[in-house]
């Protein structure tokens, strides 16, 4: 059914097993606590986690093969709760070969993004909340540029979410001494053309991305921010000067995923229907680059209000609603798109 997460949630007398599909949680079944304890212990064993430790959160990973979906990478996270240990499993399919133009409702935006990847050096950032498809888009673009432009691509990730045969991937392992800094130094000695840094989380990682782009490499990375302009403010908070961004930043992509309207059910698809729909969610993308990006940075440096006009996420969202691709969400978060809760 294309679930992205599986949860085992302990309750007073039983545990609820539920899955997340299209950002919605669906209950599968309830099992007795004794069975859920054994189930969680079994998964912890497969993920090389400490079975006897139930008082602290733990993380692990499992690589598994499914006859229908092929190779799947599972990221496990346990959390002690009031009744028992809870388990969350992130499901990351490895066989997804979706072309980047099939990820967006309006593909022309991603065509512009791909043109930025043809540059020999610079920094390209992807902003958005968790689960908005940033990593999926980056993998798709990297595969395309490596396949057709014959460039050496090296990634530095924590952890590796999707393994690619044609890309050299390095996973952060701090206990073994493989940190972002050490991994970055090693990458530069390996003759890369394109470097992907999994996520900019702090000032040190932000400085690494800037340094890599200044040394003549094309650098891709992600950042948690609401939109493209918010991404610039986040970088400013990390101590990155506007002048450094002028020299390195090629563009910023902000994105959101939306559930497509079902041609048969409308807005409320059953699980039976969702199993048979090939494409259930697509993204809308906001791109800030070129002279518009320079103008925004000038205003931030001068501490002036941002008055630059360019197509934003809201504009693409309203267009998708008008074309009946998606529905306008009437919820507490719908005011982000200019809708009132009704």
What CA–CA distance (Å, rounded) separates 234 from 203? 10
Please give the CATH topology (third level) of the domain spanning 5-93: Beta-Lactamase (3.30.450)
pTM for this entry: 0.83
Domain boundaries along the sequence of the chain: 5-93, 100-337
Is the model's pLDDT at 85 over the cut of 80?
Answer: yes
- Residue 98: both structure tokens together: 């979706």
User: How many angstroms separate the CA atoms of 296 and 298, rounded?
Assistant: 5
pLDDT-above-90 percentage for the chain: 51
Helix (H, G, I), strand (E, B) or coil at 41: helix
Which whole number is the average pLDDT over 225-253? 94
- Listed in sequence order, the residues at least 6 apart from 49 whose beta carbon sits closer than 8 Å to its beta carbon are 58, 59, 60, 76, 78
* 186-190, 221-225, 289-293, 318-322: least confidently modelled range: 186-190
Pick the CATH number of 100-337 from 3.50.50.60, 3.40.50.2000, 3.40.50.300, 3.20.20.70: 3.40.50.300
Question: Mean pLDDT, to the nearest integer, of 85-95?
Answer: 88
Q: What is the pLDDT of residue 331?
A: 38
pLDDT-derived band of residue 95, with 50, 70 and 90 as boundaries? confident
pLDDT band for position 18 (cuts 50, 70, 90): very high
Length of the chain: 342
Q: Report yes or no: 54 and 85 within 8 Å, Cβ to Cβ.
A: yes
Q: Helices in 53-202 by DSSP H: which ranges?
A: 107-116, 134-149, 180-188
Q: At what angle do helices 228-237 and 290-301 cross, to 10 degrees?
A: 50
Crossing angle, helix 203-214 and helix 180-188, to 10 degrees? 10
């Amino acid at each position: 059914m294309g679930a992205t997460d599986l949860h085992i949630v302990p309750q007073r007398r039983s545990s609820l097993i539920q899955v997340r599909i299209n950002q919605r949680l669906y209950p599968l079944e309830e099992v007795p606590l004794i069975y859920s304890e054994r189930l969680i212990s079994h998964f912890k064993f497969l993920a090389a986690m400490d079975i006897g430790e139930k008082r602290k959160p733990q993380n692990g990973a499992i690589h598994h093969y499914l006859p229908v979906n092929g190779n799947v990478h599972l990221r496990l996270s346990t959390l002690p709760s009031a009744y028992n240990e809870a388990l969350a499993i992130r499901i990351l399919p490895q066989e997804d070969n979706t072309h980047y133009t099939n990820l967006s409702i309006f593909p022309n935006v991603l065509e512009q993004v791909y043109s930025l990847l043809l540059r020999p050096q610079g920094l390209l950032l992807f902003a958005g909340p968790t689960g908005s498809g940033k990593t999926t888009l980056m993998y798709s673009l990297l595969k395309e540029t490596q396949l057709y432009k014959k460039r050496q691509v090296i990634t530095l990730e924590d952890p590796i979410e999707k393994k690619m045969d044609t890309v050299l991937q390095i996973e952060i392992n701090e206990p073994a001494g493989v940190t972002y800094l050490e991994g970055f130094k090693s990458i530069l000695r390996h003759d890369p053309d394109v470097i992907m840094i999994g996520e900019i989380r702090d000032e040190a990682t932000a400085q690494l991305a800037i340094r890599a782009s200044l040394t003549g490499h094309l650098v891709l990375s992600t950042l948690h921010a609401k939109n493209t302009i918010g991404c610039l403010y986040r970088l400013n908070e990390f101590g990155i000067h506007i002048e450094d961004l002028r020299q390195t930043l090629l563009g910023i992509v902000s994105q959101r995923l939306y559930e497509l309207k079902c041609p048969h059910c409308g807005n409320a698809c059953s699980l039976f229907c969702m199993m048979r729909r090939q494409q259930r969610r697509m993204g809308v993308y906001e791109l800030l680059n070129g002279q518009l990006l320079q103008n925004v940075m000038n205003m931030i440096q001068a501490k002036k209000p941002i008055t630059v006009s360019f197509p934003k996420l809201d504009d693409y969202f309203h267009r998708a609603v008008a074309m009946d691709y998606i529905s306008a969400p009437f919820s507490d978060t719908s005011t982000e798109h200019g809708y009132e809760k009704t």
